Amino acid sequence: MKKKTILITCAILLTIGCKQEEERRLSVLQKENMEIKGVLPSAQDIATKTTLDTDGLLTLWEEGDAIGVYGNGSSNVSLTLTSGAGTPFGVFKGSRTGVPLAAYYPYTESAGNSYTDVRGFLDSVQVQNENPNHIAPYDWKISSQITGNDQDGYRIHFREVMSMLDFTLDVSGTALEGETLQSVTFCAPDRKLAGNFAIDLSNPQAVPQFDQQAVCRVSVLWEDPPLLEADNTQQIKVFVNANIAAEDLIRITLETETHTSTTTVRSAKTMKAGYRYHIPLSLSELSDQTTIEEKSDPGNYDTFGIYRMEDTLITYRQYADQWSILTYDTHYDFRIQNYAQKKVVTIGGIPLNPQPGSTFSIEINVFGVDNIPVGSKNVTVARKEGTLLLLYDQENQTSYLVYN
């Protein structure tokens, strides 16, 4: 496994861009609007930002990029790229911030008003399009140093707070040849890899603190799922919290339309924020650590319930039972209950907008029912049609049909 340090030094110059001569004499902080020039590292530097160039190292601004800035007279001000997309030199504009105290990327409205407690979210389902170098939504950075002054402008240096895993996938010589790749899931049991986090921008060495609902897996989906061919590798980029230690158990699961491949290995090193890890994933070379199984049919159910192979563990009965949902910030619980019989089955922890092929954990809790296994279950979205969501537990061959 190779690693490369990601050094992020984003020079941001606050300049005066006014048309009137008298306005040009005003200082940066006296302007109604700010214009910011963002200069990304040169080709000689190793870095990662919103988009990786063809060499995989040089980083470029992308149309729509925005940073959040905290100043002595403002909180979480959005400054948006107005020119320079596709180059290392971008111009950002936005409202005044006062003297900048801290900044982060990418901008989110829900970051909060205090730069000592900035709130962020690393998605556990990361979508990759035909360009695997498009990494903007998951490439979290914070300011590590701010220099400059009112007249000359300010320079903000950014650093990475996540780790990027760069997989090179080769399925040559396996049953996955000729199939369409639906998802790739990276899992480190008992580790917090994605979800909601908070970070203190006043501390240059701060790391994100993930909450108790953080998940131990991150899945990659595709806008246009790629065809797996012999001698034709696929590049897969995943951002995770740098929370994996040497010797941690790691599972990498590939899903196609007919097969599930699971590779189980131990982490060779302790991962660090700001590092890019290049991981060759040749299934034929890792055959001793890889199992490939044909998928079982999750079933074509149309009534809410839990089904295992030929058995119906519970199903919603109109007029006899009740069903309900409890919605939270990032997930919801689905419940089937019968008040008269004092029976309740809860399928909890379902993401608010799960995508077909995505993998996550749900929690099963019951009351007054003894034929349904409880606890945490790993499921994949097998079908999503209208308000029906079919989740499938491959290990236990169990299907869950819920409302979505």
Q: Secondary structure of 158-199 in the HEC alphabet?
A: EEECCEEEEEEEECCCCCCCCCEEEEEEEECCCCCCEEEEEE
- Which of 30-44, 136-150, 256-270 has the lowest average pLDDT? 30-44
Structure tokens at 352: 């608010």
DSSP letter (8 states) at residue 194:
B
Q: For the chain, what are the domain ranges?
A: 2-120+133-161, 164-196+205-294, 305-403
334 pLDDT exceeds 90? Answer: yes
pLDDT bin (cut points 50, 70, 90) of residue 46 is very low
DSSP letter (8 states) at residue 57:
S
Give the gyration radius of the chain's Cα atoms: 24
pLDDT of residue 399: 94
d(CA 26, CA 33): 12
Q: What percent of the chain has pLDDT over 90?
A: 49
Domain 164-196+205-294 in CATH 2.60.40.2630? The answer is: yes
pLDDT bin (cut points 50, 70, 90) of residue 129 is confident
366 pLDDT exceeds 90? Answer: yes
Where does residue 95 rank: exposed (0-12), middle (13-18), buried (19+ CB within 10 A)? Answer: middle
pLDDT in tens, 158-204: 788 999 899 999 999 999 999 999 899 999 999 999 999 999 999 97
Where does residue 403 rank: exposed (0-12), middle (13-18), buried (19+ CB within 10 A)? Answer: middle
Q: Tell me phi and psi for residue 247, to 5 degrees.
A: 80, 0
Query: For residues 171 and 272, is the Cβ–Cβ distance under 8 A?
Result: no
Q: Which has more confidence, 238 or 395?
A: 238
Structure tokens at 66: 């925005």
- Which of 65-69, 85-89, 250-254, 396-400 has the lowest average pLDDT? 85-89
